[in-house]
Amino acid sequence: MTEVGNSDFSKSSITQAQSGDMKDMTEVRNSDFSTNMCSNIQQDEIAIVMVPFPAQGHLNQLLQLSCLISSLYDLHVYYVGSATHNRQARVRANALNPSDIAKIHFHDIPTPEFASPPPDYNALSKFPSQLQPSWDASMLLRESIASFLRDISSKSRRVVVVHDSLMSYNVQDVSSLHNAESYVFNCISVFTLYCLMSLSMGMSVQLEEELVKKLPSMEGTLTDKIKNLGASQSPYIDIRSGDIHNTSKVIEDEFLDLFAQVASKKEKKQWAIGPVLPTKLDGLSNKENICLEWLNKQPSRSVLYVSFGTTTSFSNREIKELAMGLEQSKQRFLWVLRDADRGDIFTGEAKRLELPEGFEERVKGVGLVVREWAPQPEILAHSSMGGFMSHCGWNSCIESITMGVPIAAWPMHSDQPKNGFLVTEMLKIGLIVREWEKREELVSASTIENVVRKLMASEEGDAIRKRAEELGEAVRQSTEKGGASRMELDSFIAHITR
């Protein structure tokens, strides 16, 4: 679950969207598509139905996959969810071409009303419990999804459901349709998935002994409520015909093999088709975006991008230490300082997070603080980008890896500690800001200053940056025709259109 950028909407529009005043601009652009598609489903040879889990990182990855499949293979793709979350996916479209989004058929499913409380800024746990009511409501969509699938099944040779693993219960009726099959799209790293599966089966993680000792524990990553929600999916997950991963063999070949060994008892097919985000961002940039305008004036590889995604809340003390650490480092930085998401991002006022007095004046010219939605993939692809201080949600990791930017890893919850470990210990393209075992301690300004200086202004940082750039180049090549990821995607499409 992670912050993503949006290049398609002006900064004023995004500010309006966060305050709930904005009419859905994409809805206007896509006015030729009815939001209630059931009466409007086309006679399809193959119909692909995407069913995302309603959290930003999950919505984003499945929208990216929708656009990739629709634009490359000219297949009909349906994106199914609540009206609020479908709108969220469109408004925050991640560097996607508007003409590609316009090809996707969004189907709004009626969802029971749910509470949308603000985040708890002072909670010791960083897990976004404020989103739980929206997740609970999403577990009541089974009947509506089944009805949609029955309708589309009657008009298609084959229905292919691609769903988040946390939506397995909701799509279980796929097994009752003679011409339908389902695939799980995994929104986390295969390394994390492999670790979770191994531990759940009582197996040891196959790593060097020294690495096993350093592996972050699962303790504190999840709440009991989300664990229960995950457990409630397990009776239905084996209905799937295979797994799709948003990663590349270039990044995680070793762990794809290990995961396949653990999962082989279930004889499911595997495809590593990532990154599913656009790797060529030329011509998509919103040239008037304040972030990109500012980056154009900075030297090559000189700027640290600071962003902690859509689910992280910081207390005033934490913001103060981070501000002081960045200022004392004397390094250039671009800091996206936003409130964490509510369950419905279009309701309620977002809290304005306060910085130390005079901070923005003192860092003028060296640092820029933005409080609105930022075009993250385009920021990371910019030539002035030299590092990324991140919570290590998989969206942010895969974007940073793809664009060749090293990571200052500061995990907050869920899969993030394992992702941070993958980036820093396995791929060696980052530095850890704070050990997971010390997650409840305040990270001091001096710790932040030291990590920033090491990454941005030391020989060790230069070596890390060089490795990140080389890996990024290899990952981008893997998505080109004949590359490992493109061949995996071709293989998946050939399989579902057989």
> What tokens appear for 368 in the block?
């820029």
Is 164 among the catalytic positions? Answer: yes
The span from the CA of 290 to the CA of 390, in Å, is 20
Q: What is the rounded distance in angstroms from the CA atom of residue 7 to the CA atom of residue 291? A: 11
Burial of 131 (0-12, 13-18, 19+ CB in 10 A): buried
Structure tokens at 221: 């990553």
Give me the torsion for CA of 407, 3, 481, 241, rounded to 10°. Answer: 110
Task: Find out whether the peptide bond into 275 is cis, omega within 30 degrees of 0.
Answer: yes
Catalytically annotated residue among 8, 24, 108, 164: 164
Give the Cα separation of 22 and 11 in Å (integer): 12
Catalytic residue among 58, 85, 105, 107: 58
The verdict on whether 245 is a catalytic residue reads no
DSSP for 218-242, please give it.
Answer: STTSS-HHHHHHHHHHHHHHTT-SE
Half-sphere exposure of 483 (CA within 13 A, CB side): 18
Distance (Å, rounded) from C-alpha 313 to C-alpha 122?
A: 8
Measured in whole angstroms, how far is the alpha carbon of residue 455 from the centre of its chain? 24
Which positions are catalytic? 58, 164
